[in-house]
Structure 1
Amino acid sequence: MVIDPVLLRTFLAVADSGGFSEAARRLGLGQSTVSQHVRRLESLLGRELFVRDTHRVALTGDGEVMTGFARDLLERQDRAIRYFARPEPRGRVRLGVCEDLVLSRLPELLRRFRRGHPLIDLELTVELSGVLHERLAEGKLDLIFAKRGPDEGGLPVWTDTLSWAGAPGLCLDPAEPVPLVVYPEPSITRARALETLRRNGFRWRVACTCTHLNGLRAALLAGLGVGLFATSMVPPGLAAPPTHLPDPGEVVFGLAGRRPLTHGPIAALSDLIRSHPWAARPEPVH
């Protein structure tokens, strides 16, 4: 059964005003139209909603019950109309963010996004940059914000220097291979660390591999070796090693999407990422 909301509004107007003439006046309809609407509703329900005589119009028992249903149905419809009439972008974005952002920039970014776009839902994936580029190519993500490798495209957003980091007071024996604490492949910072050491004639060994940033930080704080990070994202508690290591250069963080970055909710998120003051220190997370 499908009930036309017009019939419900007419029914409530008669119930609230106590008569067909007053309901017609309130609705701006002819009295015959109001009577027709009520008869159609009664026919749909198979119930008499009003007792009519020459002196009065009164609700039947079924009519009393129907007023509650009618108000509820119309209120639900009105809420749906108001929701979809709001001008804010809405929808869902499958966002991929690289591990480096988790302990520093991600909470601030998500907080700003939620304040500005409360109707857009996020499906968040945190992974290595190389993995995110693969998942984007497979159609499993809509938008990624990650480090760019030499073969990855996308829109450059922010460039940062790279820095070696380890436990405070860590001493490296120059006669021994440099112990590395790194992500597994495919990792852009891992590849850069190996390339930098190889190009400058350093020997190395992979002392610890971990897929997550918190694990890398724990291994580094334990003194297992040195790692390579974007300078503004060095995990808390780590410091530059006293032994001179070669300059690893810079890294570019960029946006990439399967659809144009001007498309709907993807545009709202990509615009926020591009306008974010990445060079500033991140706000503390409370």
Structure 2
Amino acid sequence: MLNPVWLKSFATVAACHSFTEAARQLGLTQSSVSEHIRRLEQEVGRRLFVRDTHSLAITPDGEAMLAHAGAILQAINRAESQFRAPRLKGRVRLGSSDDVALGPLPGVLTAFRDAHPDVELEITIGMTGHLYELLDEGAIDLMIGKRRLGDRRGVALFTGRLEWLARTGTMVDLEQPLPLILVAEPSVTRSVVVDALAQTDFRWQIVCTSSSHAGCVAAARGGLGITVRPQYLAARGLATPVNVASLPLLPDVEFIVLAAKRLSRPAQTLLQLLHESDLRGAWIGE
């Protein structure tokens, strides 16, 4: 067995090129350090240092052992840090737009829950515009949603282009107003789409409004019209219209995270995890 105490002495000697200096740094006697190296060499059956009264050199086997020792000691340090630190307790109130909730959010929540099982999560799903209101009212701690390109509020996580979706095989009749299925106000997606269409010569008609993206998907699956979702968010039973190249090009939107001015430690921890996570990962939404 590779005793971590022996490995620490070995790594310190290798860094210092001196048993005397290694002993001083470790707060041990030189004879103790020498004994650690002797027992480590005995355990692996290899010579790790070549030494005499004037010099000390690490052997090729010692170089290999040093790489393993570094990895083992780092793993031990990480484990000790995790279990020495007090467990997070409390509650985090997270708001999320439903398109994110249908896609990458569960993976982030799983990682957070695994690391901090004593923290209670309270999740609110809603339109981005409503989430802004909840955050301003102090009803939630963090929110993940969308913003128009150029808006300043929040920290961008990633950018996604909006795309047209409809029941598979749909050919949009361009002689008629575009039959739009959109989420209700307040909605960043709805306002971005309507503003983009206003800059074109296309006519359009809102044939269905839903309080959620899931409702829009259901209506589109039923053949009521065309809806809009970020490109990264697929939906079974829907596809881009056959003549999508003839439809207006839709703009990008940014997905952002926004935090209250004062955060608890659990909320700060989840915020850091969101910043570090790739929420664009491959997944399929309902």
TM range (shorter): 0.5 to 0.7
Task: Give the CA deviation at 1:97.
Answer: 0.3
Distance of 2:87 and 2:156 partners within structure 1:
27
Distance of 2:242 and 2:122 partners within structure 1:
41
Matched residue, 2:275: 274
2:257 corresponds to 1:255: yes
Q: Which runs of 5+ in 2 are unaligned?
A: 1-83
* TM value normalised by structure 2: 0.65
Task: Give the CA deviation at 1:281.
Answer: 0.7
Distance of 2:192 and 2:285 partners within structure 1:
30
Distance of 1:108 and 1:211 partners within structure 2:
25
Matched residue, 2:184: 184
User: How many residues are aligned here?
Assistant: 201
Matched residue, 2:11: none
Distance of 1:177 and 1:205 partners within structure 2:
6
* TM value normalised by structure 1: 0.65
- Structure 1: which amino acid aligns with 2:256? G
Q: Which runs of 5+ in 1 are unaligned?
A: 1-84
Structure showing greater Rg: 1
**Percent identity over paired residues:** 34
Q: Secondary structure at the match of 1:179?
A: strand
Matched residue, 2:204: 204
- Structure 2: which amino acid aligns with 1:135? L
CA RMSD of aligned residues (A): 2.3
What aligned pairs does 1:1-286 form with structure 2 within 5 A after superposition?
87-149=86-148, 153-243=153-243, 244-260=246-262, 263-282=264-283
Distance of 2:138 and 2:273 partners within structure 1:
22
Per-residue CA shift, 1:167-216, capped at 9, x if unaligned? 10112111110001110111111111111111122111111111123221
Task: Give the CA deviation at 1:103.
Answer: 2.1
Per-residue CA shift, 1:27-47, capped at 9, x if unaligned? xxxxxxxxxxxxxxxxxxxxx
Q: Secondary structure at the match of 1:130?
A: helix
Task: Give the CA deviation at 1:283.
Answer: 8.5
Distance of 2:285 and 2:177 partners within structure 1:
37
Per-residue CA shift, 1:61-109, capped at 9, x if unaligned? xxxxxxxxxxxxxxxxxxxxxxxx8623221111100011232222222
Distance of 2:285 and 2:191 partners within structure 1:
31
Distance of 1:176 and 1:242 partners within structure 2:
16
Distance of 1:179 and 1:110 partners within structure 2:
36
Distance of 1:283 and 1:267 partners within structure 2:
29
